[in-house]
Structure 1
């Protein structure tokens, strides 16, 4: 998985509002390799969904993207596409599974026809042929008795079944990149596990690349190859899934992990991150996380930290990694993760 199929470079997305300019995405860069799953995690309002909507050309009209931002896919900058060109890319080469299937599906259109629609538009199939393929897709995503339900409407299905239908629509044209924007948020835990397993199985079959957006690190552990942690419109830590879970370096990542229950969690030991994310109408000077960070240094309120290299695949934007920074003792749960990381490294050696 060393061949990038997508490169995001210096992405900025601003929204002009009556209150002023909201700097929703602030200099985000990452790449996506063929056949891998990249998870983007962070609290609500961190910029995850705006990033993915930008990748689909679906931002609101008041969005402004500077000329130096680049989204390179197949040697072309997606940000330079006209709407008619986006029509070929969207749903065909890059597809998206949205967060709420009930608002993603057309309530007045039969589900079978909604799954067939991308095949008619992007593959030029006749309606009868497209519906036959839609039936195969319904079976492929685990919809029982598909023949009996191909003419059902969305309101006749449960949340889990509607989400399977949305996945079938996204996969209909065999996209090279699949963007999943919190696709299991509205589902119960049992159905959530089924949907995640389904996505992993389908990815193996098609070798597609997935960008998985979530605030649930528990989901990330079983889905992702690499993880980008976002805060206040920026990526603050970036690494393999093992590096982020067992060798986290940014205090924000520590906070996210400490708020997630595990099999080792002791009663009453979960800790919420204090405070709230900053107002991106006027982003703070320096490190945006400083006001919520008990480990903040004086420089955090003056200067934004650069990315420090932890390994060839792991980077974190925190002044704590500067060689001049004082040593701090992270929470006990993080120390336990670091100890486990050392064990993993010893086993590999």
Structure 2
């Protein structure tokens, strides 16, 4: 598969009154044409910071890319000027944010908002842009698009507003679509509709998607590959089947254990003990060690490298070192893996 994006040894800091927050500490991943890569982890793990840095949308007054590269079609976006980024944003790389209401201008009709990127990047006439905007509203499943084109955001439900945001993001047929927890503000039924819409649209427009979420259940339904983030680093990456059926990092075990299922009783839901690390003073060893019941002595002293599990599966845990004791995943993880296998041949089908 052809790579469309390469993130290499990315380091990002925020300068605050309390000191330098080392939010991203050596992130590496690739994105291939036509695939969906999910980035998953708790709040504060660095998911949104990583992807906003791709769009260069981090606040200029206190954020800094300290090192690394963001290579898009061979161009390093980490060093691109604001003028260069304005040509890329919306045209080649688009983003869908969490809350559709704050993403839309309440004083403009949705039609005009969809037309904006078409007029700016595609150089269409107003008549052509209007026709394309109506087509996009229809594509994202909004009924009576000719009427809806003239309406304002407050006249749409939350789910319909998110469809409008997706239409705007897709207006210029971007090569990369970044979806930053696009279903968080929506109820469960509407979440499922938006996820189905995104899967359907990807087949139609053949774009690459980076999908950010804290919900592994969502990942199972939409992703081809999964990157698990913790403490500003990627701690495990692999295909969706590898992450669900053969997870290797104790943090991934914790995320899988905490996924509710139809069989889960009220008193059974697992929560990972402890709190995320303070990135004002990042630990010198494995950031997850204080919360990891399987931590080894070396975890407190030295950051583990990425150990190869397969050609597509890597995990940063000392438990994969040849000299480490053999540790089996906890029973809660094994139970969830058995449920995946019982429900489908692939976790991607479990929610369908």
- Give the TM-score of the pair, scaled to structure 2: 0.94
Q: 1:211 aligns to what SS in structure 2?
A: strand
Shift of 1:263: 4.2
- The Cα of 1:156 is off from its aligned counterpart by 1.4
Separation of aligned partners in 2, 1:263 and 1:252: 23
- Report if aligned partners of 1:247, 1:341 keep a CA contact under 8 Å in 2: no
Aligned counterpart, 1:181: 180
The DSSP-based 3-state class of the residue aligned with 1:180 is: strand
Q: After superposition, what is the alpha-carbon deviation per residue over 1:9-45, rounded to whole angstroms, capped at 9, x for unaligned?
A: 0111111111111101110000000100000000000
Partner residue, 1:148: 147
What residue in structure 1 maps to residue 63 of structure 2?
63
Contact persistence 2:256–2:336 (CA under 8 A): no
SS of the residue 1:170 aligns to: helix
- Provide the C-alpha distance between the structure 1 equivalents of 2:44 and 2:220, rounded to a whole number of angstroms: 22
Distance, in Å, in 2 between the alignment partners of 1:276 and 1:71 is: 30
Is the Cα contact below 8 Å between 2:180 and 2:213 reproduced in 1? Answer: yes
How does 1:235-314 map onto structure 2 within 5 Å? Answer: 235-265=234-264, 268-314=267-313
SS of match in other structure, 1:128:
helix
Whole-Å separation in 2 of the counterparts to 1:311 and 1:110? 50
Please list the CA deviations of residues 139-189 of structure 1 after superposition, one character each: whole Å capped at 9, or x if unmatched: 110111111121111111110000000000000000000000000001111
2:251 partner SS:
helix
Match of 1:78 in 2: 77
Shift of 1:47: 0.3
When structure 1 is superposed on structure 2, of 202-211 and 256-265 the one drifting more is 256-265
Q: Can you give the 5+ residue segments of structure 2 that lack an aligned partner in the other structure? A: 347-352
Cα 1:313/1:264, change in 2 over 3 Å = farther
- C-alpha distance in 2 between matches for 1:287 and 1:273: 16
1:102 aligned to 2:85? no
Give distance in 1, aligned partners of 2:270 and 2:85: 43
**Superposition RMSD on alpha carbons, in Å?**
1.8
Taking the aligned partners of 1:234 and 1:24, their CA distance within structure 2 comes to: 9
TM-aligned CA deviation for residue 326 of structure 1: 1.7
State the TM-score, normalized to the length of structure 1: 0.95
Map 1:111-130 → 2, pairs under 5 A = 111-130=110-129
Number of residue pairs the alignment of both structures matches? 343
CA contact (8 A) 1:200 1:223 kept: yes
3-state SS of the aligned residue for 1:79?
A: helix
- 1:13-92 to structure 2, matched below 5 A, reads 13-61=12-60, 62-66=62-66, 68-92=67-91
Q: Residue by residue, what CA displacement relative to the aligned partner does 1:279-326 show, whole Å, maximum 9, x if unpaired?
A: 111111201001111111111111111111111111110111111112
Partner of 2:220: 221
Cα distance in 2 between the residues matched to 1:241 and 1:337: 14
Q: Secondary structure at the match of 2:121?
A: helix
Give a deviation string over 1:37-85, Cα, whole Å, max 9, x none: 000000000000001100101011121113x411111111111211111
Native 8 Å contact 2:9 2:27 kept in 1: yes
Contact 1:21 1:281 in 2 (8 A): yes
1:338: how far off? 6.3
SS in 1 for 2:248: coil
Conservation of the 8 A alpha-carbon contact between 2:244 and 2:337: no
